[in-house]
Structure 1
Amino acid sequence: MKIALLGYGKMGKTIEKLALEKGHSVVFKSTSNSSEGNFEDAEVAIEFSTPEAAVTNISKALKAGIPVVSGTTGWLEKYPEMVKLCENSNGSFITASNFSVGVNLFFAINEYAAKLISPWKEYNVSVEEIHHLQKKDAPSGTAITIAEGILKHSDKKDWKLNTSEENSLQITAKREEDVKGTHIISYDSPIDSISFKHEAHSREGFAAGAILAAEFLKDKKGIFTMKDVLGIYE
């Protein structure tokens, strides 16, 4: 599989390493101010850039007829535009707040737990996320996905960042040195607490999941999710 890397920071370099180990090739890679290789040779693009660059990168791939996997977060207010562009160009597109297989299993567990606990109103739910100091967006896209899964089965109206309100789900975002990504879901009642935690030990889980998504997407048309990639059905 011939891969274009749109964004060549820490994640891009990790994806390149794992892709080469799997026998794939990287035919193009770009940063905000440089590029190397021939983009048109790519069979699939993997996009991990910045919120400011994501829409431009995704659009570039879709307009070129190259399936694109995007792991950048913080740009999803433009997601409907990318869906429309994908449909109009008969393209292929997957975006996810997190491509780690473990995190996507965690998402499914989160939704099941939220549904199971929903009738028991004495439990108040909250979400905490911890990331490295360089992460620009807060809360993380992963935390937002977790919150959306909870809200499907909750009386709470929305989520709020670092603020406790009666009808809102609180997300607490922390930034610490060299944290790859930790997410904790807590259900607290006056008599006990239940918690679920996912802790990433390296970036390789995110990179491996992105490559898996690219392998899935390569010969398909349409808009897909990681549930499609992993065969997770409700």
Structure 2
Amino acid sequence: MKIALLGYGKMGKVIERIALQRGHEIVLRKSSSDTFEDLHKADVAIDFSIPDAAVANISACLEQGIPVISGTTGWLENYHEMVKLCEEKKGAFIYGSNFSLGVNIFFELNDHLAKMMSKFNQYKVEMEEIHHTQKLDAPSGTAITLANRIIENSDYSSWALENAKNDELLINVKRIENVPGTHSVFYNSEVDTIEIKHTAHNRDGFALGSVIAAEWIIGKQGVFTMKDVLELN
């Protein structure tokens, strides 16, 4: 499989290492100043860039008929625009706030717990996410996914980063050097706390998941998620 890497920072380099280990070839390594000149050589593209570049990267792939996997967060106000473009071009597209196998299992656990806890209004929900100091968006895309799924299964109307109202889910954000990503969900009552937590030890899990998604999407048409890739539906 020939892969275009759109974004060649720390994550891009980890994806490259894992893709090469799995027998794939990298035909484009694009940083912010590079062009899409060799994109047509790729069977699939993996975008781990920055929020300001994600839409241009995804659009270029869909325009050229290249299936694209995007793990860039912080650009989701344009997500429906990319879905529409994918449908118009009969392309293939996966966005994931987190491609880690463990995190996607954690998403399912979070859903199940939220549904269970919805009937127990003595518990107040809070979340915490911790990432490295270079992360540009806050809260993380993973935290937003977790929060939105709790909101769907509860009386919360939205999430907030501080001064949360009674109907808002509080997300505490911390930025600490060399932390790949830690996400916790707390159900607090006067008598106890229920906690679920996922801790990433390095970037390899995110990178492996994105490569697996790229392998999976070849030959497919449509807009998919990691639930489809991992058959968690």
Residues 132, 179 of structure 1: 8 Å contact kept: yes
Q: 1:191-218, CA deviations, whole angstroms, 9 ceiling, x for partnerless residues? A: 1000001000000000000001101111
The Cα shift of 1:37 comes to 7.4
1:25 aligns with 25
1:215 aligns with 215
- After TM superposition, the structure 1 = structure 2 runs for residues 5-20 of structure 1, keeping only pairs within 5 Å, are 5-20=5-20
Residues 162, 173 of structure 1: 8 Å contact kept: no
Find out whether 1:176 has 2:207 as its counterpart: no
Report the 3-state secondary structure (helix = DSSP H, G, I; strand = E; otherwise coil) of the residue aligned with 2:144. helix
- After TM superposition, the structure 1 = structure 2 runs for residues 85-124 of structure 1, keeping only pairs within 5 Å, are 85-124=85-124
Find out whether 1:40 has 2:46 as its counterpart: no
Cα RMSD after superposing both structures: 1.0
2:153 aligns with 153
1:54 aligns with 54
**% identical aligned pairs:** 55
Question: More deviation in 161-170 or 5-14?
Answer: 161-170
Q: What is the rounded CA distance, in whole Å, between the counterparts of 1:162 and 1:139 in structure 2?
A: 11
The Cα shift of 1:34 comes to 2.8
**Please, which runs of 5 or more residues in structure 1 have no aligned partner?**
none
Residues 67, 217 of structure 1: 8 Å contact kept: yes
Q: 1:157-207, CA deviations, whole angstroms, 9 ceiling, x for partnerless residues? A: 110113321110001111011100000000000110000010000000000
Report the 3-state secondary structure (helix = DSSP H, G, I; strand = E; otherwise coil) of the residue aligned with 1:199. strand
Check 1:109–1:44 CA distance in 2 against 1; reply closer, same or farther (3 A cut).
same
Q: What is the rounded CA distance, in whole Å, between the counterparts of 1:56 and 1:84 in structure 2?
A: 14
Q: 1:92-144, CA deviations, whole angstroms, 9 ceiling, x for partnerless residues? A: 00001000010000000000000001101101111100000010100000000
Structure 1 residue ranges, 4+ long, deviating more than 3 angstroms after superposition: none
1:134 aligns with 134
Q: What is the rounded CA distance, in whole Å, between the counterparts of 1:149 and 1:163 in structure 2?
A: 21
Report the 3-state secondary structure (helix = DSSP H, G, I; strand = E; otherwise coil) of the residue aligned with 2:78. helix
**Please, which runs of 5 or more residues in structure 2 have no aligned partner?**
none
Find out whether 1:72 has 2:79 as its counterpart: no
Q: What is the rounded CA distance, in whole Å, between the counterparts of 1:106 and 1:186 in structure 2?
A: 14
Q: What is the rounded CA distance, in whole Å, between the counterparts of 1:217 and 1:147 in structure 2?
A: 27
Aligned residues: 233
Q: What is the rounded CA distance, in whole Å, between the counterparts of 1:34 and 1:85 in structure 2?
A: 23
Residues 28, 35 of structure 1: 8 Å contact kept: no
